Amino acid sequence: MSHKTRFVALLAAGALMLPLAACASTTPGGAANCNVGITMPTRSLERWINDGEQLQKKLKDAGCTVDLQYADNKVDQQISQIQNQIAGGAKILVIASIDGTALGPVLEEAAKQTVKVIAYDRLINGSPNVDYYATFDNYKVGQLQGNFLKDQLKLDSAAGPINFEPFAGSPDDNNAKFFFAGAWDVLLPYVQKGTLVVPSGKAPKSNDEWTSIGIQSWQSDKAQAEMDNRLSSFYTGGKKVQAVLSPNDSLAIGIVASLKSAGYAPGADYPMITGQDGDKANVKAILAGEQAMTVWKDTRKLGDRVFTMIQQITKGEKVEVNDEKTYNNGVKVVPSYLIEPEVVTKDLVQSKLIDSGFLKASDVGLG
């Protein structure tokens, strides 16, 4: 190589190094160790699309390498996505699991490669190789739903009996257990007293029996079919359902569709239905009087928290958590950061969801 070509080659190498150096200064702990694999359950639910894209953007803006994958609610697909991320050099995995008990072997592989694992929103069970958990206070989500029904139906003073139908989330999702327990701790005493009656008989006798009314994969159409069955078998002779515990918005969509096809319309005889997430279709349903509330989880806050965790990991700092007792995954208590959920009703849509920029007014037909 002549002096001249060597000089040009050096210049080119220098030019190549410049953006890397610039990157490293804005990257949490340097670009090299900020290589993140994100796996989300499905694109069929609005919240997971927002969750994934927001976190990906934040990390990319900070100069991290990011791979974001969705698995169509298929466990095997999610496992192979995680395997590919490990093989591709990811140093941190952010996983919103489909089945919280199915990831043990792949996380063993991650641990061998000293990859850190953050369970995102849903706990990963049965594995020692889960380093942190970032989520909303899932028990509180259920409590907010239960207390909403208790207050709105005035269960302490109402004579009853009030016709009520409870639903629970996907049996493979650890969160669903917490949502149900939070709501059932409030509502079960009123079922036992007879203020609430469950004509379908589908009222778990204890929190542990929640899977008996769980809707697999949180599917709207399965919730709709279940509600259709309950209405056609147990609501005959003019009997009307007055309240439904729906643990999230995707189930509420199915329940509302079933009610509509059975002839229910918003108004005095329309049942009170709960939800969770603040999806656009459900906010529209709230504004139309078809759903009474949703428990809003500002997923931007969850993304910000996970971003902070990643920064702390890459800088070798202590990772901040605020709960070290609630989330035992069967092998260990996973250090967790819990974020507060909030109730949104019709009169709070503007101030909570739109003014904060979570949704656009035009998304929900307001302006």
Of the residues 137, 165, 173, 226, which one makes contact with ligand BGC according to CB under 6 A: 173
Residue 73 near ligand BGC by CB under 6 A: no
Backbone angles phi, psi at 6, to 5 degrees: -65, -40
Closer residue to ligand BGC (CB): 91 or 122: 122
Least CB distance to ligand BGC at residue 133 (A)? 12
Least CB distance to ligand BGC at residue 356 (A)? 18
- Hey, what amino acid is at 134? A
Backbone angles phi, psi at 267, to 5 degrees: 150, -165
Least CB distance to ligand BGC at residue 121 (A)? 5
Backbone angles phi, psi at 117, to 5 degrees: -120, 125
Q: Between the CA of residue 223 and those of 68, 227, 271, 288, what are the distances in Å? A: 29, 6, 16, 20
204, 213 Cβ separation under 8 angstroms: yes
- For ligand BGC (CB under 6 A), the number of binding residues is 12
Site string for ligand BGC, 205-224 (x = CB under 6 A): -------------x------
- Token duo for residue 31: 């670009």
Residue 78 near ligand BGC by CB under 6 A: no
Of the residues 121, 137, 172, 290, which one makes contact with ligand BGC according to CB under 6 A: 121
- Which of positions 241-260 make contact with ligand BGC (CB under 6 A)? 248, 250
Least CB distance to ligand BGC at residue 170 (A)? 7
Q: Is 101 exposed, middle or buried (0-12, 13-18, 19+ CB in 10 A)?
A: middle
Least CB distance to ligand BGC at residue 313 (A)? 23
Residue 329 near ligand BGC by CB under 6 A: no
Residue 276 near ligand BGC by CB under 6 A: yes
The span from the CA of 318 to the CA of 345, in Å, is 38
The span from the CA of 276 to the CA of 274, in Å, is 7
Least CB distance to ligand BGC at residue 343 (A)? 15
323, 316 Cβ separation under 8 angstroms: no
The span from the CA of 223 to the CA of 203, in Å, is 16
Residue 131 near ligand BGC by CB under 6 A: no
Closest residue to ligand BGC in the complex (CB) = 248
Of the residues 45, 62, 118, 252, which one makes contact with ligand BGC according to CB under 6 A: 45
Of the residues 51, 277, 290, 298, which one makes contact with ligand BGC according to CB under 6 A: 277
Residue 234: CB partners within 8 Å, gap ≥ 6? Answer: 199, 200, 201
Residue 336 near ligand BGC by CB under 6 A: no
Of the residues 39, 163, 175, 314, which one makes contact with ligand BGC according to CB under 6 A: 175
Least CB distance to ligand BGC at residue 130 (A)? 16
Least CB distance to ligand BGC at residue 27 (A)? 29
Closer residue to ligand BGC (CB): 153 or 273: 273
Q: Phi/psi zone of residue 256: left (φ > 0), alpha (ψ -120 to 50 degrees), beta?
A: alpha
Closer residue to ligand BGC (CB): 125 or 175: 175
Q: Which long-range contacts (CB under 8 A, 24 or more apart) does 297-302 make?
A: 297/47, 297/136, 297/141, 297/339, 297/341, 298/339, 298/342, 298/356, 298/358, 299/47, 299/50, 299/51, 299/54, 300/54, 300/358, 301/339, 302/51, 302/120, 302/121, 302/134, 302/135, 302/136, 302/339
Of the residues 31, 47, 146, 150, which one makes contact with ligand BGC according to CB under 6 A: 47
Residue 65 near ligand BGC by CB under 6 A: no
Q: Which residues lie near ligand BGC (CB under 6 A)?
A: 45, 47, 121-122, 173, 175, 218, 248, 250, 276-277, 297
